[in-house]
Amino acid sequence: MRGYDPLFWVGLEYRFMPPAARFTQRVHAGEAGDIKMLSIREHRFPFLPKVGDWNRFNRNTGGTLVEKCCHFFDLMRHILRDEPVRVFASGGQDVNHLEERYDGEAPDILDNAFVVADFAGGARAVLDLCMFAEGSQDQEEISAVGPKGKLEVKLPSANVIWSPREPKGPLVEHVETPAQALAAGSHHGATYYQMRHFHEALTSGGRAQITARDGNRSVVMGAAAQESIATGMTVNIEFKDEG
């Protein structure tokens, strides 16, 4: 329709998990100081069956670190408010889907990896992914460490933990997610809150909180990690300034 300004919002919902959002708020408030090290750990269950099992092959998805982990790379950029400049990764397919065959072809998707990213401002971030650890107490753990101390968030236990460098911690804040949000979608209520923000932007004429640029850059980080694993080399990243 002529004259219509469309809203384009990328569905990177992990920012909206209430405990993760509270963690990020406290990081951005400077509680731990200028963050030097950021760690994201996901120890979870294998990929679920999808229509036609399309996600069993890198050629269809870009690889596990693109399809699955773009959410975590978006979180890295969002938490650090910075851009990556280089990525190094090590990973493999060691446990999952090894016996499966599709038209005689074996799946080739990664089921575990470590990814290290250096950011322009000097911070380092690491992703620790394991997709054969479904018995873990907390599926996701995020920590940010700066000169003042360490902030952590654990999911689904939903605790934000503050450990100052002075010996008076840890201090635990439990972040409750309403039952209606948990029932409405996945990712610890994140789907519910992202859709609420999306609807508000649609009805009020607001801007997208997660843009095409965010989506692109999270995928670039995943693709760089996949390339690093394939080649054994560090991959440098240089984003062009769209401004």
The CATH number covering residue 152 comes to 3.30.360.10
- The answer to whether position 4 is within a domain reads no
All residues at 6 or more sequence positions from 85 whose CB lies less than 8 Å from its CB, including other chains: 118, 119, 120, 236, 237, 238
**pLDDT score of 50:** 86
- The answer to whether position 119 is within a domain reads yes
- The answer to whether position 152 is within a domain reads yes
- The answer to whether position 198 is within a domain reads no
172 vs 5, which has greater pLDDT?
172
User: Is pLDDT at 130 greater than 60 in this prediction?
Assistant: yes
User: Is pLDDT at 162 greater than 70 in this prediction?
Assistant: yes
Domain enclosing residue 112, as ranges: 16-177+211-235
For residue 144 the two structure tokens come to 């940010």
User: Is pLDDT at 186 greater than 80 in this prediction?
Assistant: no
Average of per-residue pLDDT values in the chain:
93
52 vs 90, which has greater pLDDT?
90
**pLDDT score of 222:** 98
**pLDDT score of 169:** 77
pLDDT, mean of residues 98-107: 93
- The answer to whether position 191 is within a domain reads no
- The answer to whether position 6 is within a domain reads no
Peptide bond between residue 156 and the one before it cis (omega within 30 degrees of 0): yes
- The answer to whether position 111 is within a domain reads yes
Q: What is the pTM of this model?
A: 0.93
User: Is pLDDT at 10 greater than 70 in this prediction?
Assistant: yes
Cα(38)–Cα(62) distance, integer angstroms? 25
- The answer to whether position 200 is within a domain reads no
Q: How many structural domains is the chain composed of?
A: 1
